[in-house]
Amino acid sequence: MATRKKIENVTAMDRVKLARDPKRPHMMDFVSRICSDFEELHGDRLVNDDRGLICGFATIDDAKGALKVLLIGHHKGATVEENMEANFGMANPDGYRKAMRLAKLAEKFHIPIVTFVDTPGAYPGDTAEARGQAEAIAKSLEFFSLLKTPIVVVVTGEGGSGGALAIAVGDRILMLENAVYSVISPEGCAGILWRDGAQAPAAAEALKITAADLKRLGAIDEIVKEPAGGAQKSHAAAAAAVKKAVVAALRELEGVPLDELVAKRYAKFRAMGNFY
């Protein structure tokens, strides 16, 4: 009973801190534990290879047979050097265009897609803006909403604004228990509404950014439980839970006719925000 009470007393800002924990598993931590192989592919064929977004084909072994998938995910990096190279998981337009290029290849060969969302937001630098950051995100939203292959999304850490949503349009939206997903950070919201960053905890509560809140609002489909203390306490346990949820979602989707799949996906996102 005491354990249950403790879980319920975790605040939205506590979840934000857990989602940002540098020891929390990132995309490659999940890939190394979930997949038996992973072949990363590079470049958008226009500018360069953005390290803030990693893409590649992989195999997920399952009792019912191996699943071939395309993995797309934000890459924050595990070292300072990797953090800098990947802009701390903030993707450039080149990253989103790379994701679309490879997703089109997955559609051609009837391969489902799994995306891992973990970013503070899209990279806001002048170089990104000059190369069409807003256009790349908008195009990605349109592209994934119409893609004729199953898409499973997993929000593993921070789901920050359009930078997250660009690869989060899918048929099943999964979210780790201590992940957050929001149009703006609590600090940014507090700065706009109250001109006071110290109000971030109040903003976090008001934004309804936790997995439980988003499940109630219909913005996600399933909450993936984390090990006690958070995913950073056991990468292996967190990965096992994610694998189980992803495989179940993929198996559920594999028999759905593609036209029906796309129509339901489009309707799913169109219905978000309608609370009456």
Q: How far apart are CA 2 and CA 108, in angstroms?
A: 52
Which residues are bridge partners to 143 per DSSP? none
Which pLDDT value is given to residue 3?
38
C-alpha dihedral, 139 to 169 to 55 to 250, nearest 10°: -150
Which pLDDT value is given to residue 75?
92
The answer to the question of residue 57 being in a domain is yes
CATH assignment of the domain containing 207: 3.90.226.10
Which pLDDT value is given to residue 78?
79
> HSE (CB half, 13 Å, CA atoms) of 153?
25
Phi, psi of 69 (to 5 degrees): -140, 160
CB 154 within 8 A of CB 242: yes
The answer to the question of residue 189 being in a domain is yes
Which pLDDT value is given to residue 148?
97
The answer to the question of residue 48 being in a domain is yes
Q: What is residue 25's three-state secondary structure?
A: coil
CB 28 within 8 A of CB 76: no
Which pLDDT value is given to residue 8?
56
The domain in which residue 148 lies consists of 13-267
Task: Give the tens place of pLDDT for each residue, 78-107.
Answer: 788 888 887 888 999 999 999 999 999 999
> HSE (CB half, 13 Å, CA atoms) of 78?
9
The answer to the question of residue 60 being in a domain is yes
Burial of 66 (0-12, 13-18, 19+ CB in 10 A): exposed
Nearest Cα to Cα of residue 118 among 91, 155, 161, 77: 155
pTM of the model as a whole? 0.91
The answer to the question of residue 276 being in a domain is no
Which ranges of the chain have pLDDT less than 70?
1-8, 275-276
Write down the number of H helices and E strands in the chain: 13, 8
Q: How far apart are CA 268 and CA 191, in angstroms?
A: 32
Which pLDDT value is given to residue 275?
66
Running DSSP on this structure, what letter comes out for residue 36? S
Task: Give the tens place of pLDDT for each residue, 123-161.
Answer: 888 998 999 999 999 999 999 999 999 999 999 999 988
Q: How far apart are CA 169 and CA 166, in angstroms?
A: 7
Which pLDDT value is given to residue 197?
86
Q: How far apart are CA 167 and CA 140, in angstroms?
A: 7
The answer to the question of residue 90 being in a domain is yes
The answer to the question of residue 159 being in a domain is yes
Which pLDDT value is given to residue 194?
93
Which pLDDT value is given to residue 2?
38
Q: How far apart are CA 110 and CA 104, in angstroms?
A: 10
Total structural domains in the chain? 1
E strand or H helix at 116: strand 113-119
CB 28 within 8 A of CB 75: yes
Tokens representing 246?
């992803």
Which pLDDT value is given to residue 89?
85
The answer to the question of residue 275 being in a domain is no
Which pLDDT value is given to residue 46?
87
Whose tokens are 């195009």? That residue is 139
